[in-house]
Each structure stands twice: as C-alpha cells, then as structure tokens.
Structure 1
Amino acid sequence: MLNKNTIDIIKSTVPVLEVHGTAITKRFYERLFTNHPELLNIFNHANQKQGRQQTALANAVYAAAVNIDKLEAILPVVKQIAHKHRSLGVLPEHYPIVGENLLAAIKEVLGDAATEEILQAWAEAYGVIADAFIGVEAEMYEQAERQAGGWAGYRAFHIAKKIKESDVITSFYLVPQDGQALAGFEPGQYVSVKMDIPGERNTHIRQYSLSDAPGKPYYRISVKEESGDLNRTAGKVSVYLHEQVKPGDVLWLSAPAGDFTLNQKDTRPVVLISGGVGLTPMISMLNTLAETAPDRQVTFIHAAQNGNVHAMKEHVEELARKNPQVSAYWVYNQPTEQDRTNQTFHKEGYIDLEWLQSKVPTTEASFYFCGPVPFMKAMNRALQTWGIAAADIHYEFFGPAGSLE
C-alpha cells in the first residue's frame, strides 16, 4: 500500500501528465528499444509508428495517477491489458526494465520539475502497479496452460485451409501440428500469431480475433490485408499472410485471450454491430448464438465500403434464413453499381441513430460493436444518445486501447 504522502505527490502530477503524458511515453519507448532492442520482438512496430502505443500508455499512466488512491477502479483496464500481455509473452522480468526507462523518461521530459521526491513517489507507485499486473498475469498464464487443450508460450499450427472471403479479407483454418486437443475459448477472444518474416530483423507478433464459434477442430482467423496508402505503410504481417503463406505452412500461436467476450448467460436480445474487419469477433459471437441460443433474438449489422470488400455475407444470410431469430442488415458507404442493381444492401451511407432505431426492436438488449475507431466513436455516441445503459455497451479496440469519448 502507498502512504498518504506518496499518494498526494502522485495526484499532484496529474495536470502535468495531462499535458506531457504522450511526450513522456514517446521518449520512454525510444529509450526502451535503444537499451533493450530484444523487446522489439514483442511490440507491434506499426502501432509505434502510428503513435497508438504511446497514446495508450499515456492514457494508462494518467488513469493510474488519477486513481492512485483507489487502484481497484482501474482493475478492468489492468485485466484488459494483462490479457494482451499474456498473449504476447510479457514476463515479470520485463517490469523492472519498463520502470527504469519510464522514470528516466519522466526525468528527461520534465527536467527540473521532476524532483527527487516526485521520482521516488512514482517509483513506489510503479512498483505497486507492476505487482498488480504481474499477479493478474501469473493467474492468466497458469489458466492458459492448465486448461484442457491449453499450452504455454507459442504452439505450432499448420494451415489446413486458406479461404478468400472478400477482396481484402482471407480466412486461415489452423490445426495443431501436434495433433493434440485444442483449448476452448470465449466468442470474441483472439490469438497472437508470431512470425519470422524473411528479410526482417525482428520477430513480428499480431493479434487476430478468432472468427468462428468455439468447439471446432480448428481455430479460424480472418485477416484483412493492410496494403497501405499515402498516410499509412503496409502491414508487414497481413501482407505476408495474404501473399506468401499457403496451406500446409506453420504458424505459431499463443493460447486464446481477451476480455471482449459474449455474455452467454444473458438471455436478452443481442445486437452485433461491425465495421470492416471488425466483423471477425462478431461472426464468432453470431455463430455461437446460432448454435447454442435458438431462443435469443440477434440483430447483426455490418458496415462496409461495398460488396467487394464485404466478407462472409453469404454465410450470415444463410444463418438468418435458417434461424428466424436472426436478422441481418448491410450498410455500404460506397456501393458499386452492381450492389445497387442487385439491391444487396439495406442502407447507403453510414449507420445513424434513426436508422438503428428502425432496425433494433428493443433497447432492452446487450450491444457489441467493433471496427475502425471513427466507426466505434459514432456507434458509442449513438447508443449513449439512445439511452443505452453503459453496462450494456461492449466494444473492442484492434490494437492499443483508445478513447471513444
């Protein structure tokens, strides 16, 4: 436990973190990778380049400072990050390295304003927060290994099938190379894929949602090829998976993780809303509901540019035909002429509250959404405006957590 003086000092730094938080975390990562380049084998380089990792860490540090006298308030965030850490292979020995470089970054950015008293307080606070993460992650590592079909670290899977789902999304069906049992998972969870790409100095790890219901003899991931544009470099792993990896090749996976999961004990209607490749965890949830909850009303809404990039459309429509409790709707913001001619979508443009209200039969439901950050911000605003209770709004960021406010 932290004493009152330490807590008061930490709280006094909140305004400074609000202004300089991202500068501190940017400098932290520069120091970390200079001093410990081996950690580049764990971190997502693309998120570093885009600044998402720095912003996410700055938000986490700020939240810890604000809640330093009631750290239980940030336990949900701790668990969310701990899932990612366990999936990536973050270990207890990494935490002192992080602490050392974080404190040094605070000192460098704040200069004389970072007094010895402030640095000592933050060292104590970091120790408490690190212990919380280490404890939660230790339980997660044990659970991942000891569950039926579970394992520690990374396990070899061969690609049984590679199926093109749209112009930009391809599914990979993955079967354990050792022929042993496959761990179960909760609909909405993800796996980490560790890859050594020819010509790349570092190992690359990416997390992909499992896109089918649990209980199958395989895992399925459905990956969007991030080909890049003027504002963003191409995704090295997704491009390699699409263009180079073939059936029979081996991928290394960590056990399933993640806290964005379908509440299967809830019997109320459920609304699944996705944008782009954000449909992958939603398909897992939908397939699970169709198999196990025939009395639970499901509204499935997907937004895409057009039919060319709309993955798994036929699959969802077939589920809706066979399961009268399932309704499915498509929203295209750039429909093709063929889309218009064949009337293959229900709305042109974007999902808005008025349209949402016309398709969702009740507010007494649980809402799940996933997609690009602007899409998720729009969905969050719409649901809040509609008066949906915060406890019934669930969402997932692909990559470092951000803010929807």
Structure 2
Amino acid sequence: VLLPAIVRVASDDSWPWHWPLAGVMLLLFALALLMGRTAGTALRQAIELKTRTDQVAMQLRIDKAEAEAARRAAEAASQAKTQFFAAASHDLRQPLHAMGLFAEALRQRSRDPEVASLVHSINESVDALEGLFAELLDITRIDSGGVEPRPQPLRLRELFARLRLHFEPLAFEKGLLLTLRGGERVVHADPVLLERILRNLVSNALRYTDDGGVLVGARARGDRVLLQVWDSGIGIAEASLPRIFDEFYQVQGQRPPGPQQRKGLGLGLAIVRRLADLMEAPLTVHSRVGHGSVFALELPAGETPQAPDQPAGGLKAPIGLALDGRLVLVVEDEAAVRDGLVVLLQAWGADVLALDTAEAVDAWLAAAPPRAPDLLLVDYRLPEARTGIEVLARVRAHWPAVTLPAVLVTGSTMGGHEAQAEQHD
C-alpha cells in the first residue's frame, strides 16, 4: 500500500515538493521495515527464551520431585532400619542374657580355679558382646525417638560416687589415677542421660590412657556448669577431630593401649553427641597427640535439691541381700533365659516359681496359691500380645494387702515402657 503511494507522489509533477515528500515517505518505509524486522527478531527470541525457560522450569520441577522422592525413600529406609533394630533388640539380647545368667550361676557353684578362670573369660566375652549390642541399640533408641530428656536439679556428688564405684577398679588395674572434683556443684539435667554421657567419656578416657590418669571435674561459669573429662592418653590427631562424633568412625591407626583392650564399634562418642544434643548441652573437645584429650559439656546450673525424707522405720534392706527362702515368681517366655534365671536364683538360695505365659499366671492364680511371692521378675513382652505390666497388675490385685516388689525386664528399645511401669508402680 505504501510503495504505490510513494510512486504516485514521486511522479506527480504538479506539486513542486513531490520529490522531497517521496524521499521522506521512502525513508519512513525503510525505518518501518527495519523496526518490523527488529521487533520480529525480538519476539522470536522472546518466544524461544520463554520456551527454554519453561523447559528448564519443568526439568527443575522433575529434578525436585525426584530428589524429594529419593529423600523420602532414604528417610523411610532409615526409619525402617531403626524400627527393625528397635523391634528386634528383644530377640537379639535374649541369647546373650541367658549366656550371662548361666555363666554367673556356674561361677556361684564352681570352686575349681581352672573352671573359675574359664567362667571369668566367658563373662568378659559376654560383657563385651553386651556392650556392643548396647551401643547399637542405644543409637536406634535415640533415632526412633525413644529417649526424652527429663531435666531436674542434680547434685553431682551422687553421680560422681557411682562413677568412682564403677570405674575405679579398672583404673587401679591399669595403674591409673581416677580423680573426680567439683561434686558439690548442682546442674539442671536429666540424670540418666548425663550419667550415660559421662560413663562413655570416662570409659573412652581409661581405654585410651596407659599412663597418668583421668580427671572428671565440674566448675562454675556464671549460671552454667562446665563438666570436663581430662585424660593423659594417646590423644587424637587434629585432622580426625571433626569426625570423631560420627557413627562408626574410628581414628585410623589408633588402638587402645594393652593387648586385651577391645576397640569397639565407634559408637560411644556418637551416642554422647546425640544425648548432648537432646539435652541442648554444648559439647566440645580439644586434644593433642601424645598429650591427651579433654571433653567438655556445658550445662545450666541447678538449685540445690532437697534431701529426701527418711522413713521413720529406717531404710529397708534390698531384697537381693536376703533371698534365702524367698519365693520369686519368674515369668519369661524364652526358655533359655527362664532356665538361667531359675539356676541363678536358686544358687542364691531363693525358691523359684517359673512360668512362661500370662495364661499360666492366670491359671496359677485361679488355683488359689497359699503363698504370695516375695518378688516378681517379669518379662515385658509375652506371647499372645500380653505384657508383663498386665501380669504385675493381676498378681498384685490377687494380694491387695501385700506390697509386692517387682522387676520388669525388657530388651526392647522402642521406649515408653518406663512411663507405663511408673503408672502401675
């Protein structure tokens, strides 16, 4: 349309400005063509860019969905592993438990030094295996959410006394000095979790120390208390420090001094880290190869707990100190464990009634037994989906006027059993 108009204007001799006007129109036409081409190129590039952007966005969504699916699958696999170990822990511990019972019963009965030496070796092996299982099961219990901190004011003196009672014989055997200072301090912490942390740290310190000693100390820092475990052992290389709290990590080339020291699975410090995180307690470590290590745990200071009131009649002696002639009711479905308990309790002088199911207990109660047991020793998990707590409730209801002490035994790490037991205490 525009080109014919330009031609007509250029050929119209009646108008003196026809050539300049035609030139201007031609210039405008050229500019329009150029702008149209530029706009077309820009539009095409914009369309191509949008197409590529949509493709990238689609790929990102696909990658994100795949990553999310992989994450969920990994979490599901991890949770399945945790639940498997937690559920299987009862069955995994039963043979070890039975072996330990039989070994202890054999030790009680044997007077032959050679047999006593063999039994001692068996007990050491059982203790080592139980320690390895305990580390594995502690990890699974923490990961499965079966550990919940219950902080309270805690005087360190009592905790230090238990540590000394447990570890001083080992320190003496290795020629080491075990020192505990600052027992007058009071912290606000879960007593069970804190004791497990300190036991793991002191055990590691003694294991990797062959000369000198181990110091457990507590000192105030404002409204906080710093708990430290020092040792003069072989130390840890600086390059290894960032990984020592990882599961199954073991420092390369580092073995405990002494030919009879087992190395372990590399879970002790992983458990320490997890428990410290549960209590929201900062945990640090400093170490020098050949000089030793120091692990520090920072806790809030607590108010001095009130001393428990002593009963008017004095403290009762633990029933385990006088089992001679006592009737102990054992309810355990695992034959090896049940037989081991019977042998051991009889070696201690107790009269033992051993049953394998809750139904057997019901039948025994229905027969109107003439004597109430002096102690109940009951497995938590029993056949036919019955529990030891049900058995305790049934037996105690049969003799409501008698106070029946009981021990509830479980190898499961699923958690919640303590709370259930407390409700029936």
TM-score for both structures, normalised by structure 1: 0.29
More helix by share: 2
Larger Rg: 2
